[in-house]
Amino acid sequence: MSEYNFAYLNEQTKKMIRRALLKAVAIPGYQVPFASREMPMPYGWGTGGVQVTASILTPDDILKVIDQGADDTTNAVSIRKFFKKTAAIETTELSEQATIIQTRHRVPETPLREDQILVYQVPIPEPLRFLEPRETETRKMHAYEDYGLMHVKLYEDISQHGHISTTYAYPVMVEGRYVMDPSPTPKFDNPKINNCPALQLFGAGREKRIYALPPYTKVTSLDFEDHPFEVQKWQASCELCGTSGTFLDEVITDDKGGRIFVCSDTDFCRKQQSEKFEEAG
């Protein structure tokens, strides 16, 4: 691997990506096209996030990578290894320690700080894609703020199911201007995306788009006045740390319908467990 540049990408490419990032930060929620590169992991497996991380990474950074909230899921392990190998940087599983957190499908439970950057892996950046498959048309809809169709989808959810049945990749309005897909994070995490002190960067490699939310950006989840946005709640609390109010993963424990719930954020859960242990001790 030594024949590769720091963090794999050559400096030309990083510059190109950083320019796209700057533009994205300047127009929050707007999808900036960029010349996404082939990466040594498959498209759809986080190449967008990896390119963003590679472009902003410095030798002093401490990197955390999570997938489904966990540090030890296979793809998170694989990406963390990739940067360890190509950039020889320090990595961590602790949210507080990290300067950059690359994530797939979750926002950490631990509140983020101003000196942190959250990098999202995005499969389909276009929130209107499943309503209108044509790029030429969706770009116009964004340009003209022609977002009626987005609410048609939500209306239809309620009329057919009695609820807005979008549970993840829940569309948001950024600073009253652009409708944005927060990537397939559960809608549970939408409130954390709003007014977040950390810089949030979104990279979609296969679709060749970058977008961003500067710190403290106003992000509103779309809804109706009489069907307001609400997040999921669990009856149970975490089997391991006992915390309630976090996003819980369901684990099936036997073939007789036995199941328990555990925190999806493994780092947060571990911290809660050790705090409890200290209290008890």
Residues between 175 and 214 with contacts to other proteins, criterion CB under 8 A:
184-188, 206, 208
Query: Which of 52, 55, 101, 105 touches other proteins by CB under 8 A?
Result: 105
**Whole-number Å distance between alpha carbons of 168 and 47:** 21
CB atoms within 10 A of CB 79: 24
Q: For other proteins, which is the closer residue by CB, 40 or 111?
A: 40
Window 249-268: residues binding other proteins (CB under 8 A)? 249-251, 253, 260, 262, 264, 266
Q: Is 148 in the site for other proteins (CB under 8 A)?
A: yes
Query: Which of 58, 167, 220, 244 touches other proteins by CB under 8 A?
Result: 167
CB atoms within 10 A of CB 228: 9
Q: Is residue 196 among the annotated active site residues?
A: no
**Whole-number Å distance between alpha carbons of 219 and 216:** 9
DSSP 79-131: HHHHHHHHH--EE-S-TTT-SEEEEES---SSPP-TT-EEEEE-S---TTTTT
The token pair at 227 is 């069907």
Q: What are phi and psi of 86, to 5 degrees?
A: -90, -20
Q: Output the smallest distance, CB 201 to other proteins, in A.
A: 17
Query: Which of 19, 27, 44, 191 touches other proteins by CB under 8 A?
Result: 44
Q: Is 244 in the site for other proteins (CB under 8 A)?
A: no
Length of the chain as a residue count? 281
Q: Output the smallest distance, CB 195 to other proteins, in A.
A: 21
Q: Is 109 in the site for other proteins (CB under 8 A)?
A: no
Q: Is 106 in the site for other proteins (CB under 8 A)?
A: yes
Q: Is 128 in the site for other proteins (CB under 8 A)?
A: no
Query: Which of 18, 19, 23, 168 touches other proteins by CB under 8 A?
Result: 168
Q: Output the smallest distance, CB 53 to other proteins, in A.
A: 16
With 0-12 / 13-18 / 19 or more C-beta atoms within 10 angstroms meaning exposed / middle / buried, residue 59 is exposed
Q: Is 146 in the site for other proteins (CB under 8 A)?
A: yes
Query: Which of 18, 23, 227, 276 touches other proteins by CB under 8 A?
Result: 227
88-96, 150-158, 174-182, 213-221 -> range binding other proteins (CB under 8 A): 150-158
DSSP 141-198: HHHTT--HHHHHHHHHHHHHHSS----BS--EEETTTEEE---S-BGGGHHHHTT-SS
The token pair at 220 is 């509103």
Catalytic residue positions, numbered: 29, 238, 241, 263, 269
